[in-house]
Every structure is written in structure tokens, then in C-alpha cells.
Amino acid sequence: MVFATAGAIVADTARAQDSDDRGTLQLHGFMSQALVVTDRNAFFGSSDDGLGSLEYTEIGLNASMRLGDRFLVAGQALSRVAGNYGDAWEPTLDYGIVDYQALTSEALVLGVQVGRFKNPFGFYNQTRDVPSTRPGVLLPQSIYYDRSRSLGMASDGVSLYGERHLANGTLYWQGGIGVPQIGEDAEISLSARRPDLDAKLSTVGQLLYAHDGGRINAALSTARVRADYRSRVTPSSEGEFLFQPVIVSLQYNAERWSVTSEYEYQTRELSGFGDSRANRSTDGESFYVQYQYRFNSRWQWLLRYDYTLSDRRDRNGRLYAATGQGPSYSRFAKDATTGLQWQINPHWSLQAEWHYVDGTAWLPRQDNPDDDKTERYWNLLLFQTAYSF
């Protein structure tokens, strides 16, 4: 089930400030290790070579402390390996905020976070680094890209949030302004020539309604992510990059099963170049439908269909291929997924997951530098064990 708030971090903040734990340092952490196997193409390392790849590891530690009745300090450090992802094993500040609740009542909560806050995209973005919060080993790659994950992960700035308790549900909202943490993964994903992106002040926001204690959840998320763009081939070629997604999210939770679906319409735009031929705008779209069935408190089954399209005006990628930029199938991906999760005990879990994929739109370019050497149809098998405390 999704956390029925404008983000798990906001919810944790509210819970911490409602409890009598003033001055108490709370520590939690997690680690995970996966085996990744593909028959064609590489995903998180040399997964298509021999017995697969073990280059998908996550380690995180988070801490929080309540200071007085209205202040909370919280943060999380993260270290991960994901194939040839540029920051392998480099510890990073996933989020780090000072939270102040200006108003707290039975009907209304208003607060502000200052620091590095997680961007509220869809249902899963704010908690995607914690394995126990994901419905599968991988989140739907159509919306929660791993190959360009830094583009939407977190921002340094100020975030306002609130929750309003209604007769049959709760309305949550969160909006922020700050500088996004754009890394080299986004640069590589944007172009094989890897332009230099320098993040600029950007905005993000989400409105979420949880009905009947989270039985039905609906959310609308949007952002305007901006960066200065400079070509590494021609340094004098400078402009601006804009990434503007709009995500509609819906979920229904029954006692034993859940259905979740999200749709994203996104615009990627390059503008401000002296050579007008470099100025362009591309509209893409993505969606997934996901079914989860809980056999009991320990076993869960996942079934998902996931679809992404890089350019709505070139759905089969033929116009892209005709320009010689790459194969047509690199502009879309259709992914059928099924998996099982076993919660061994409150701390340990095991997961197995199989993907059959048509297309390579979300295939990490870090592991596949030459698009022409990739294959259109491929299988992806993942096994993961995770520990949390």
C-alpha cells in the first residue's frame, strides 16, 4: 500500500512530533543485495554475461531528533551501486531537513521543511530508496527511471506541506522550490554526447487525497525542473534544459489486494541556443497498471504492465531512427512484470521478479554506451534480499 500522505517523510515528521520523544535520537537503516540476470542487454552491470551481475547494492542510514514541540531534524545517508552508475559507493545525503510545524490541530497541520527535501513525485518517489517500501525489486521504470534517477530525486531549498482532515478522508499537499540534484546519470540519459547540466532554481508540488483511511488514494504531481545546458563537443553552444512532468496517480486497497495506476505526461525542452536548430521540444508519456495480491502477512504477488514513450509524435521511433541517432526501439519500452515477495520476519525479506521487455527506452546507457549494440526484445530476472532495522 502507498503511504497515504503527501510523502512518507512528512508523515514521519507528524508522527514524531505527536509523540513524547523530545530529545531522543532515532536511528533506522537498511541494506539490500540483488542478483541481476538478462539474456540480452546489460542492466546494472554485466548482467548478460555468464551468471549475471551482483552490482546492485543499497545501504542507507537515517536519523531524526525532535527539538522542542515544533522542530524536528531528520536526514538519511545513502550509498549504492547500480552497475556503471557514476557515484558507485559514494556516500550521499539522500535528504536532510529541519522541519517546523507552524500549526497543529485535529483538523489542520501546516509546516515547512528547509534543507534537502525529497521531491513529491507520484506515490513512490519520496521513499524509493528504501527497499521495504517498493512493491517490487524495481519500481515501474516508465515513471521512476533508474537510468536518470537524479533528475527527480531531491532538491535543496524550502518545502511547504500541510494536511486537512475531512469527514471521510484526508487531503495532503506539499510544494517546494529549490535546486535539484542533477547528476551525470541525467546527462548521459539525455544524450550519448553527455552535455553538461548545471541545475537552476526549480519547483515541484503534489496534491494527494486519501479516502477512508487510505482505501482509495488519488494524487496529482507536477514539477518544473530547469538547468543550464552546455555542449561538451562545442562548449560555446549553450542554452537551457527544461523537464516538466505531470503525474496522475490512483490506487485502490482492499484487504488482500491493491490496484495502482499512474500516468505521466512530460515535456523535455531545449531553448535559448544561438543556432535555432538546437532548440526543440519533445512530449513523452508513460503509464503503468499494477496488481498486488497478499496471500498472507508474509507472501505477496506482483503483476504489472508498464509502458513508456519518448516522443508522442514518433510512437514507433522510425523518424528518430531515420536521422541516424539510434534504433527505433530505443524510443519506447513495453514491460510485462511478475514477481513474488517473502517477508521472512520483520527485518528480512526476499524477492524474485521477472520482466519481459519490448524496447530499450529505460535501459541504462551507463551499461549500454552504444544503442546500436542493444536488442529490442529482452528478459530481465532479479533476485533481492533486504534487511531493515
pLDDT digits (tens, 9 = 90+) for 189-229: 877 677 889 999 999 999 999 999 999 999 999 999 999 99
Alpha-carbon gap, residue 327 to 368, rounded angstroms: 13
pLDDT of residue 9: 46
Would you say 143 and 134 are in contact if contact means Cβ atoms under 8 Å apart? no
pLDDT of residue 194: 78
In sequence order, what are the residues at sequence separation of 6 or more whose Cβ sits closer than 8 angstroms to the Cβ of residue 354?
337, 338, 339, 379, 380, 381, 382
In sequence order, what are the residues at sequence separation of 6 or more whose Cβ sits closer than 8 angstroms to the Cβ of residue 330?
317, 320, 359, 360, 361, 363, 371, 374
Cell numbers at residue 209, please? 487525497
Kindly list the structural domains of the chain, giving each domain's residue range(s) and its CATH number in brackets, ordered by start: 8-388 (2.40.160.10)
Tell me which long-range contacts 289-294 makes (C-beta under 8 A, separation of at least 24): 289/259, 289/260, 289/261, 290/135, 290/140, 290/258, 290/259, 290/260, 290/261, 291/257, 291/258, 291/259, 292/135, 292/257, 292/258, 292/259, 292/260, 293/256, 293/257, 294/256, 294/257
Pinpoint the alpha helices (H) of 223-328. Answer: 318-322
pLDDT tens for residues 74-129?
Answer: 999 999 999 987 677 889 999 999 999 999 999 999 999 999 999 999 999 999 99
Alpha-carbon gap, residue 62 to 126, rounded angstroms: 14
Beta strand pairing call for 25-38 and 377-388: antiparallel
pLDDT of residue 21: 66
Positions of the chain with pLDDT lower than 50, given as ranges: 2-19
Q: Angle at the Cα of 18 (from 14 to 24), degrees rounded to 5?
A: 95
Terminal CA-CA length for the chain: 20
pLDDT of residue 150: 87
pTM, to two decimals: 0.91
Alpha-carbon gap, residue 346 to 339, rounded angstroms: 20
Alpha-carbon gap, residue 211 to 343, rounded angstroms: 27
